[in-house]
Structure 1
Amino acid sequence: MMDSVDVPIISAHVPVYAHPGDAGADLVATESAHLEPGERAQIGTGVRIALPDGYVAFVVPRSGLAAKHGITVLNSPGTVDAGYRGEIKVTLLNTDAANAFDVAPGDRIAQLIIMALPRVTFLPVETLPDSARGEGGFGSTGYTTGHTA
């Protein structure tokens, strides 16, 4: 098991992991919103953190909201850089074509995933080494047997 990382936080609702071993800690809304089909809204969480250098936080959708209500996080994953000290806000999008969705203070609206992130040095070259995939892009790996498009 990896060592724990201390992350200083200012929040009335500290994110919590629902179950042991969960990757994401739940973020809760601090304000109300009403999302009609196709609408989006930026929702405050009241969470401000100080990530250590070499770490990044990602704001990602909650699978239950997506599966049951069509609610997702726009620009997912939202990236929180180590130097950012402002409030983490979540831009929710209602993808349901027929039903509105209401957010109330205290509702779990997204998850926060914190990861170590190596600093990368980009090395300009004339050619790249070959790989099994090559230059194949979206859809280049094909479909499963029996799939009809």
Structure 2
Amino acid sequence: MIYEMTIQFRVGDITKGQEWYETLLKKKPDFIPHDGFTEWELIPGCWLQIAEGIPSIGSGPLRLGIDNLEKERERLINDLKIEPFYIYSREEVPVKWTTFSDPWGNKVGLFEYHNQSDKENRMKTILGIQL
């Protein structure tokens, strides 16, 4: 049985990496066990680890569900100086999505449900609430 998960990205400079991911995630790390390593619990039992080391170019993408993709794109372009990126959508896919890279080449993505009820049903499932 799987009960928890982590994903790890490597960055060439842990201080800059921590600052970049704090801005992306809009929060400080939840756990810094030692130098060169920091972690955020994104949702219960789901951890993002940033470790100082040689980046594996093209790792990911780690895709994060958000409420407003267009608004978040503007924030990231302004706050993290990310190159403008395209938002994709297909009729048969229940979300619109995008992918971009952090300064070390790790792929990060965002997605937003087209239909609010689909999002709410997914959140109920994740939180273990009866439908």
Instruction: Provide the TM-score with structure 2 as the length reference.
Output: 0.27
Higher RCO (C-alpha under 8 Å, 6+ residues apart) = 1
Query: TM-score, normalized by length of structure 1?
Result: 0.25
- Select the structure that is richer in helix: 2
